[in-house]
């Protein structure tokens, strides 16, 4: 296993998860209307989940004698605060993150069961989240 490549991948994941904390917190501030309370609650739970993932990733980085990044991933925003636009931005963020977790899985496969299982668990969580967001965006017939 190439520790340098694994640590670099983990740091990319860390930066993206920290960006998720900022992104979801910001989105929660910007929700208005009669569905504000449940949507804000859901967005804040996503921010909390991103922070939990960031903490897990940081622990894996230090276990490999790496240095966790102090950077935050890209914070792109359309500046449209309609719920579907927020969800679409969220969906793009989550799909990108799944790709990076898949990259991690390939880097550690066969070398670290701990990191393999972590990557698989994160892929499952992120894919479930993607499916959930896609259902939220979908318009009923």
CATH (domain of 15): 1.20.1260.10
Instruction: Provide the pLDDT for residue 140.
Output: 83
User: What is the rounded CA–CA span in Å between residue 73 and residue 108?
Assistant: 23
Question: What is the per-residue pLDDT across 9-48, written as a single tens digit (0 to 9) for each?
Answer: 999 999 999 999 999 999 999 999 888 999 999 999 999 9
Domain span holding position 23: 3-67+74-137
Question: What is the per-residue pLDDT across 64-115, written as a single tens digit (0 to 9) for each?
Answer: 999 999 999 888 777 778 888 899 999 999 999 999 999 999 999 999 999 9
User: What is the rounded CA–CA span in Å between residue 87 and residue 81?
Assistant: 10
Tokens of 47: 């921010």
What is the number of structural domains in the chain?
1
- What is the reported pTM? 0.93
- Helices 83-108, 3-29: inter-axial angle, 10-degree rounding: 170
């Amino acid at each position: 296993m190439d520790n340098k490549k694994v640590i670099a991948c983990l740091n990319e994941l860390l930066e993206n998860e920290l960006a998720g904390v900022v992104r979801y917190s910001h989105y929660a501030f910007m929700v208005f209307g009669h569905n504000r309370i449940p949507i804000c609650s859901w967005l804040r739970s996503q921010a909390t989940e991103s922070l939990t993932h960031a903490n897990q990733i940081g622990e894996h980085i230090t276990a490999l004698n790496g240095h966790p990044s102090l950077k935050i991933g890209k914070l792109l925003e359309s500046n449209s605060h309609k719920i579907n636009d927020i969800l679409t931005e969220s969906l793009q963020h989550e799909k990108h993150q799944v790709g990076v977790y898949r990259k991690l899985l390939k880097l550690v496969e066969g070398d670290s069961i701990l990191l393999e299982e972590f990557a698989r668990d994160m892929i499952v969580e992120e894919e479930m989240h993607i499916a959930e967001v896609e259902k939220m965006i979908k318009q009923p017939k």
